[in-house]
Amino acid sequence: MKIYFAGSIRGGRENVKIYSGIISHLREYGLVLTEHVADKKLFDAGEEKLSDREIHDSDMGWLIQSNVMVAEVSLPSLGVGYEIRAAIELGKKILCLYRPQKDKSLSAMISGCAEITLGMYDQMNEAYEMIDEFFSDINYQPGNTPWL
């Protein structure tokens, strides 16, 4: 199973710790192609050394290779929205995780999209349960790789 994880990078890095927890849990289901999203030192590690074209093309390559997409959408991000729309166009199964916040609302373009499975959580264990349910709903069990 190849998993594309999406989370805000240039839109803000406040949720890096959350991304790290989600990615760790996703590893139980397969290879996370975009683990760098949870790297606290992403910009120090070379992201800024890549051109915007190189970033776009490599991310789209990973998205095309992936079997599913999981996105953390609590922090608004134009890039994550772009990736979600591309995943829809590619026919990927998509889980968007959203942590409600008093001063922020989830975009209707995400919550109103029939092609997206939306999971709202307050605690990380709730996000993990939603991930488990998502993979169960697509009939995926670790070690069972019918789509590779």
Of 11-20, 59-68, 87-96, minimum mean pLDDT range: 11-20
Residues 68-78 have pLDDT tens digits of: 999 999 998 99
Q: Where do the DSSP E strands lie in the chain?
A: 2-6, 31-32, 68-72, 93-98, 116-120
Question: Beta partners for 77?
Answer: none
Query: How far is residue 99's CA from residue 75's CA, in Å, rounded to a whole number?
Result: 9
Residue 111, φ and ψ in degrees, nearest 5: -65, -25
Mean pLDDT of the chain: 89
Q: How many residues does the chain have?
A: 148
Q: Which has the higher per-residue pLDDT, 86 or 49?
A: 86
Residues 34-58 have pLDDT tens digits of: 998 887 766 554 456 788 899 999 9
Class of domain 2-137: alpha beta
CB-based contact 108:40 (threshold 8 Å): no
Percentage of the chain beyond pLDDT 70 is: 89
Strands 93-98 and 31-32: unpaired
